[in-house]
């Protein structure tokens, strides 16, 4: 049985099970207060009927009643690296297992839209928000401040916010470890390849800081940072010429790339120049994307542990939804990337 327009109502489930609408609402919507008690046996009959009839809660009615939904808003950059989209899929799986759904807002290099997503999510009365796109250089504080601190978890620490909830990736530690890994294999002249520039690419500065820390910790007095532009990576001949010049002038024995895509492009350039990897130049990347293990030689890299990040973001948000006054020790989590050693080093 269904109501008007074929939509299953709480009344329909109540009639099927033989209980009151209040009882059904208590089980499915957690309403009814402490005065309504439902046995486990009756609750299971209600949930079984819900599944059989295909009941969907009326989100508009919940909003009008002032109740939060089972929806989590997610803001992200539509041009973000592929690893962010992988994390989004993993986050959705975790959220689904906890009874939540996602509403995703995506934009690229549009600060106004990133700010407006916060208002959009509020208008839907979402249960909470995960923000993956606030770290635009120069605009981080502006974007982050638009999101309600009592119901938002950020990927990386937001600027200008007291007691934020966030999960961060220890990128600096990974690139320090990368240099030390190379040094342990007798490599004394490692070159760091970054993308774009330190002012416009969040995370490139952390990579450089980690690289410099690794050099100091390993006692190496060689330091060389190459900043690649989009045309360098896109055109194999341009990159090949840059690598050829570098090999002639600096005589490096190791390349550390900002990500696996750059490492793959460098591997191609080295092979074209008949430079052996790892015998002549060792090579490593970052992200541990799918193709890294399929290259010849297979690529040493860092796994950013997206599964841990995804679970941490969602579970921290659920904890925040349940307790907006979370203690400070529950508001921060730092995830350290894992070194994956393969043939290229």
Tell me the domains of the chain and their CATH numbers: 4-56 (1.10.260.40), 71-169+307-336 (3.40.50.2300), 171-303 (3.40.50.2300)
Pairing of strands 338-340, 301-303: antiparallel
Backbone angles phi, psi at 285, to 5 degrees: -120, -155
Residue with more model confidence, 194 or 139:
194
Nearest partner of 195 among 182, 186, 208, judged by Cα: 208
Of the listed ranges 63-72, 104-113, 233-242, 310-319, the least confidently predicted one is: 63-72
Please tell me the pTM assigned to this model. 0.77
Which tens digits make up the pLDDT trace of 1-42?
554 445 777 888 889 999 888 888 778 876 555 556 788 889
Note the helical H segments in 82-170: 82-97, 111-123, 140-144
- Cis geometry, peptide bond prior to residue 236 (ω within 30 degrees of 0): no
CA distance 146 to 144: 5
In percent, the amount of the chain with pLDDT more than 90 equals 62
Residue 197: CB atoms within 10 Å = 12
Structure tokens that stand for 22 in this block? 């209040």
Residue 86 pLDDT > 70, yes or no? yes
Chain centroid to CA 85: 8
> What is the DSSP-derived secondary structure letter of residue 201?
S
Q: How many residues does the chain have?
A: 345
Q: Provide the 8-state DSSP code for 158.
A: P
Residue 2: what pLDDT?
52
- Considering Cα of 141, then 147, then 153, then 155, what sign does the dihedral take? negative
Q: Are 246 and 275 in contact (CB under 8 A)?
A: no
pLDDT at 59: 56
Query: Which of 114-128, 152-166, 177-191, 315-329 has maximum average pLDDT?
Result: 177-191
How many CB atoms within 10 Å of residue 327?
A: 8
Check: CB of residue 89 under 8 Å from CB of residue 102: no
Beta strands across the sheet bearing 101-107: 101-107, 71-77, 128-131, 152-155, 165-169, 332-335
């Amino acid at each position: 049985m269904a109501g008007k327009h074929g939509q299953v109502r709480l009344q329909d489930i109540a009639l099927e099970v033989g209980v009151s609408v209040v009882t059904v609402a208590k089980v499915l919507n957690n309403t009814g207060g402490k005065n309504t008690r439902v046995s486990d046996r009756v609750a299971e009959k209600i949930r079984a009927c819900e599944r059989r009839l295909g009941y969907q809660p009326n989100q508009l009615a919940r909003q009008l009643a002032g109740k939060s939904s089972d929806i989590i808003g997610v803001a992200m950059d539509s041009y973000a690296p592929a690893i962010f989209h992988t994390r989004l899929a993993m986050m959705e799986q975790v959220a689904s297992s906890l009874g939540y759904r996602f509403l995703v807002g995506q934009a690229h290099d549009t600060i106004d839209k990133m700010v407006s997503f916060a208002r959009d999510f509020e208008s839907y009365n979402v249960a909470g928000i995960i923000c993956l796109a606030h770290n635009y250089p120069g605009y981080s504080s502006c974007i982050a401040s638009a999101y309600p601190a009592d119901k938002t978890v950020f990927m990386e620490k937001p600027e200008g916010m007291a007691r934020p909830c966030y999960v961060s990736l220890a990128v600096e530690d990974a690139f320090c470890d990368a240099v030390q890994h190379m040094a342990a294999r007798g490599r004394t002249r490692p070159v760091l390849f970054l993308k774009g520039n330190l002012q416009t690419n969040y995370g490139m500065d952390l990579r450089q800081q980690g690289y410099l820390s690794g050099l100091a910790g390993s006692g190496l007095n060689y330091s060389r940072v190459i900043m690649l532009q989009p045309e360098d990576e896109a055109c194999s001949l341009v990159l090949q010429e840059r690598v050829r010049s570098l090999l002639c002038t600096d005589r490096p024995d190791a390349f550390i790339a900002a990500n696996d895509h750059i490492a793959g492009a460098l591997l191609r350039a080295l092979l074209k120049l008949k430079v052996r990897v790892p015998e002549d130049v060792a090579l490593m990347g970052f992200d541990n994307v799918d193709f890294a293990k399929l290259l010849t030689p297979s690529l040493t890299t860092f796994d950013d542990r997206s599964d841990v990040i995804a679970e941490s973001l969602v579970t921290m948000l659920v904890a925040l939804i349940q307790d907006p006054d979370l203690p400070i020790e529950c508001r921060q989590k730092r995830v350290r990337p894992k070194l994956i050693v393969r043939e290229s080093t």
